[in-house]
Structure 1
C-alpha cells in the first residue's frame, strides 16, 4: 500500500508508529532484533516496527518499478558510493542525507568504529564532517563495494522534503558559514537583485527560485533530492528510517547491528540556542512562497514524496503532525 501525492494523512501503520514516539513509549529490550528478523517471532513493539519497515520497503519497491527507476549496471555510481559510510566492526553502511540527523549518525559511526568509551557530545560538529577515520564506500574497488553491499546492514533516513528544504535554508543561508552565506548567497543575489552590492541576507523566496532554476543532479547535497543521494531503487536498504521517528528508528538500528548497549543515538544540534525546524516553522516559510514556487518545489521533490510516502498536502501534514 502507498500514498499518491495529495493524500492528506499517513497510513494506519505510520500513524500507530508515530503515536509511540509522541507518547514517548520506549521500545522493548528483548534481545538483538536481528534474531527477530530471522525467526519471525517478535515482541509487540518490535513487531510494529518491523511491520512499518516492511510497509516502507514495499512502498518504495512498488514506486521504483512504477516509475522505471531500476537500473541494470555492473557497478555502483561513484557519486552514490561517496554518500555511503562504512563501519566494518558491525557490518554497517549508512547513507548520508544532510538535514536528516546525519551529523549525529556520523558521531555514532565514529564511536562504533573507534570503540571509544566516550560521549557523542565530546565530538565537535566540524571535526566529524572532516575526519578521515570514517571510511566511504567509494574508496574501495567495485568488487569490494559489491561484497559490502551484499553482506552489510544498509540504512537510509529520510525527512519530509519541504521541512528538509526549510531546515537547509535556515542552517546554511542564515548563519555565517563562508561558503553558503558568502559564495552561494552572492550567486543568488546576482541572479535576483538589481542592486548587485546588496548585502541583505538571501530571502527564502530567492533561495527557492535559485534551486528550482538548476538541474536536480547539480544541486548542493543539502537540498538535492534524497533519492538522488542514496539511489534507494537500486541499493536495497535493510532499514528505511525517518526523521519523524528518528530516535526510535535509530535505537532499533543500533540493536539490529549489535551496537554496545551503552551506546544511544545522540540528540545534539549545531546551533543549540535555536529551535529545530518543525512543522510550524516550515509552514511559516512555505507561506512566503507564491503558487508557482510551491508547484516547482513539489515537482523538484516529486520522487522523494512518492518513494518515501510523504504527502504533498503539506498544510494538513504539518498541522496534524507538529
Structure 2
C-alpha cells in the first residue's frame, strides 16, 4: 500500500475519531449537535436530498452509523478510494417524493449592495436600543437584570433555527404568524410525504402556533440540562437575532379587535367575562361567547383598557402575550438584536432581513392582504377613553414606545 494511500486513510480515520468524540461530548443533542458552530451568516450550501422520516424508537445514538456516514462521504462506492463528491442515496425515496422535492436553489450573488437608507434605518434602531438600555433616562421592571436572571418561562418567545443560525423573538399581533411560518420552512421541521414544506402559506395557522413546531429557549433545559444557559449564550453570540414590533397603542387596538370583537371562546371565558363583571355591570355574564354575541354583550375597548390598568389584573396572572409589553417578551436590554423590523415598514424590512440572513433564495415573506389596524384610527378608538386613563396607559407602555423609536402620541394624550 503506497504512502499516499496510507496517509489518506489515516486522515479519514482520524477525522472519524474526532467526530465520535464530539458526538459523545454533546450527549446526543439531536439535530443541533453539529449546528452549534454555524456562522451568523452561513455561506453558500450545496443542495441536499430531503431528510427521511425517522421511526419513533429509542433515542440511543448510533455512533457507528454516524461515523460510517462521515467516512463514506470521502469514498467512492465500490472502490474504497477517496473522492470529492458522492451521489445522494435515493434508494429509500418514493418516486412521488422524488418528483415533488425541489432542491435548494444556488445561493444568489448579490451584485448590488443593500440600500444605504435601509442600513442606516437598522443602525438607528439598534442605536436607540443601546443608548436607552445603557443609561438611566428610562427605568422599567427588569431593565438592569442579567440574562441569567431571566426566568426560563420568560424565554418562550425566542425561536431558534440551528440550521441557519437564526433566533427570532416573536411578538403577537406583529405579523408573527407569517414569521413563524418562515422559521418552520427554514428549520425544515415540517415534512409532507417525507419532503420539507417549502411554501409558508401552505402551513395551517393552527399548526403554525403549535409549540411543538418550534424549538424555543425555554425548551433548552429539557434537552441540554445544566448546559442550557451556556448554550443559550453561545447561540445569542453567534446567531443572527431579530424581532418585529409596531406602534404599541395600535398593537393594543389590533389585539382587542382580534380577541374580543370576533368570536373566541377561550378569550371570552378567560378575559372578557372578567371585564364584564368588573367594569360593565354584568355580575353574571353569558356562559359562552355565542350567547354573549347573540345578546349583544361584549367588553368595550374602554373596558379592555381598564383591565390593563387594573392592579388586580396581574395579581391573577401575567399579561397575555397579545398585550404583554415587547420589552417583557423579548428582553432587548439583555439581548443585543441584530435586526429590528417595524410592521409599518414590513415589506422593506422583510426583504432586507431575508437577504441579510442569506435565505432570500429559499423563502419569501408572504404578502398580507388582510386589513391592518392603521395608526390613523387611534383617535377614534380612544375617543371613549378618558384622557387621564390614556396617559396612564402610555406610562404602562412607554418603554416600548421609546425603545423601538415610536413617537409619543401627543394627539391623544393632550386633548
Q: What's the TM-score once normalised by structure 1's chain length?
A: 0.79
Name the counterpart of 1:229.
329
Q: For residues 103-114 of structure 1, what are the structure 2 equivalents within 5 Å?
A: 103-114=177-188
Name the counterpart of 1:241.
341
Q: CA deviation at 1:60?
A: 1.1
Match of 2:206 among 117, 122, 126: 126
Aligned length: 275
Q: CA deviation at 1:280?
A: 3.2
- Work out which of the two has the higher radius of gyration on C-alpha atoms and give 1 or 2: 2
* Counterpart-to-counterpart distance in 2, 1:138 and 1:301: 25
Is the CA contact 2:251–2:323 (under 8 Å) kept in the aligned structure 1? yes
* SS of match in other structure, 2:303: helix
Name the counterpart of 1:187.
274
* Counterpart-to-counterpart distance in 1, 2:267 and 2:147: 35
Deviation digits for residues 236-291 of structure 1 (CA, Å, limit 9, x no counterpart): 0011111111121112111111215151111347xx5xx32112333321222111
Seen in structure 2, the aligned counterparts of structure 1 residues 286 and 220 have a Cα distance that, compared at 3 Å, is same
* Counterpart-to-counterpart distance in 2, 1:97 and 1:47: 27
Match of 1:287 among 383, 390, 397: 383
Q: For residues 86-105 of structure 1, what are the structure 2 equivalents within 5 Å?
A: 86-105=160-179
Higher relative contact order (CA 8 A, sep 6+): 1
Can you give the 5+ residue segments of structure 2 that lack an aligned partner in the other structure? 1-107, 190-195, 221-227, 286-291
Deviation digits for residues 72-122 of structure 1 (CA, Å, limit 9, x no counterpart): 454653233211000111100000111111111000101111183532221
Match of 1:208 among 292, 296, 305: 305
* SS of match in other structure, 1:132: helix
Q: For residues 244-259 of structure 1, what are the structure 2 equivalents within 5 Å?
A: 244-259=344-359
* Counterpart-to-counterpart distance in 2, 1:225 and 1:235: 16
Name the counterpart of 1:31.
110
How big is the alpha-carbon RMSD for the aligned residues of Structure 1 and Structure 2? 2.4
Matched, 1:160 2:257: no
Seen in structure 2, the aligned counterparts of structure 1 residues 283 and 124 have a Cα distance that, compared at 3 Å, is farther
* Counterpart-to-counterpart distance in 1, 2:131 and 2:270: 41
257-266 or 181-190, larger mean C-alpha shift: 257-266
* SS of match in other structure, 2:324: coil
* Counterpart-to-counterpart distance in 2, 1:160 and 1:221: 16
* Counterpart-to-counterpart distance in 1, 2:213 and 2:247: 30
Is the CA contact 2:207–2:213 (under 8 Å) kept in the aligned structure 1? no
Q: What's the TM-score once normalised by structure 2's chain length?
A: 0.62
